Homo-oligomer: A and B are copies of this chain.
Amino acid sequence: MYYSQFLSRVCMPHAVLLQPKESWNSSKSNDEIIVGHCTKVPRNSNLEKLRSGYLFPEISRHESEHLQKNPDASLIRLGIGDTTQPIPDTITLAMAEQVRGLSTIQGYRGYGAEQGNMALRKAIAGKFYQDMGIKANEIFVSDGAQCDISRLQMLLGSNVTVAVQDPSFPAYIDSSVVVGQAGELEEETGKYGNIIYMNCGPENDFFPDLSTIPRTDIIFLCSPNNPTGHAASWQQLKQLVEFAEANGSIIVHDSAYAAYIRDGSPRSIFAIPGAKEVAIEISSFSKFAGFTGVRLGWTVVPEELLYSNGFPVIKDFNRIVCTCFNGASNIAQAGGLACLSTDGYHDLCKVIDYYMENAKILVDGFTSLGWKVYGGKNAPYIWVHFPGMSSWNVFAEILKKTNIVTVPRRGFGPAGEEYIRVSAFGQRQNILEAIRRLNSFL
């Protein structure tokens, strides 16, 4: 209901009802008359700019409409990148123990540190940043990457310029608009003013051609990329770090899918020498551990990262975390610690292997149908090319003919069409069934 087009409204005090209707009904035919009280509080102009309809709720709406028309359809959801496999016992046992402890005097815990439990921060530093010089106090535990993207935007404020990959996960741009970094939406191009869109396609190996990108304060880069599935190579990330150094920019590197890298590409931007002076990294337990509903992530802000006036970014981020956040759930944090135990990590790797086997099945399936396929080798996303076609049309046709939900390219940014993203999260039998349906109906 929230995603319907907003009809402009005219606020009328109750008293106006007493007048003839003609006298207060405006000339605009699609005005919706609000009879009642309007406050005098102005709507946030940043939100006014924001394109209506966040992508994933939009996809859900299409799903629901399809199901209303076809109540017996057996949907296979390869759209929203949502984990489907059970969390290994080692991890849920640790969380259950933490939960039950909350019913005892000894085990009860109230507020924890806003930055996260030190044991977990240390474990993250040890497991993911060994030999990169990242310290536990540079790791801020969060309730997930999307939430931390917004907190980072609150940190940065409205007075910075931003570059974003196109295609990209919509939260970067939408949160930029919310905090006032963006100009108006140009209806013709679908682009916001003041945002630099860095095109990433097969022509540039899915990595921005930095020779064509103007300097911005902030560069968002997601690797392995959502949606293209491309993992930036050592060479590509090294170029980016040098570009940021030369321009005095800050890279916000989203490594939420790092655990899916298979080919030896860097799993963290901090594997690149010099990155600590130019980068922040956002990461997550969501796709690594099936914690999409449990909610746990982290952000790394190195002490070496400084604003132009020499002030350490970590001090301001710490302040944002203490003021705007109160720490991730202590139950989720206990789970996070179990994920990084020897047994937990081993079990999770098997789940990731399972999804990557799904990815291979999807890559092979689409390829054998004659479509050019990218991604799926270092990420749980397959990026399928349908030359010359509108991506929403491809999305709609696949949904209509096969009851499979995907995500159209257009949902990830304005620059292109012709692609859909297919998620490798799902039960194996559904992935196999999806390929069967595609073979039969496309």
List residues of A whose CB falls within 8 A of some B CB. Answer: 1-2, 6, 8-11, 32, 34, 36-47, 50, 54, 56-57, 80, 82-89, 91-93, 95-96, 99-100, 102-105, 107-112, 137, 143-144, 146-147, 149-150, 154-160, 171, 174-175, 178-180, 217-218, 244-245, 247-250, 274, 277-278, 290, 292-295, 304-311, 314-316, 318-320, 322-332, 425, 427
Contact = CB atoms under 8 A, between A and B. Distances in A.
Contact of A171 (B154, B175, B323): B323
15 contacts: A10-B310, A32-B310, A36-B277, A37-B277, A41-B307, A41-B308, A42-B307, A44-B159, A46-B157, A86-B104, A92-B102, A93-B100, A99-B331, A108-B290, A146-B325
Task: Give the number of times this chain occurs in the complex, counting copies.
Answer: 2
A42 B324 CA distance: 21
A150 B89 CA distance: 36
A159 to B, nearest CB: 6
Contacts of A327: 293, 295
Given A110-B84, A277-B37, A293 B330 contact: yes
A322 B174 CA distance: 10
Given A147-B324, A293-B112, A308-B39, A92 B88 contact: no
Contact of A108 (B85, B95, B319): B85
A41 to B, nearest CB: 4
Contacts of A147: 324-326
Contact of A44 (B6, B82, B156): B156
Contact of A38 (B111, B306, B320): B306
A344 to B, nearest CB: 12
B57 A322 contact: yes
B332 A331 contact: yes
Contact of A43 (B154, B311, B328): B311
Given A150-B325, A295-B328, A318-B2, A310 B38 contact: yes
Closest 8 interchain pairs by CB?
A40-B248, A9-B310, A44-B157, A150-B324, A82-B110, A293-B330, A43-B307, A110-B292
Contacts of A54: 319, 322-323
A54 B249 CA distance: 29
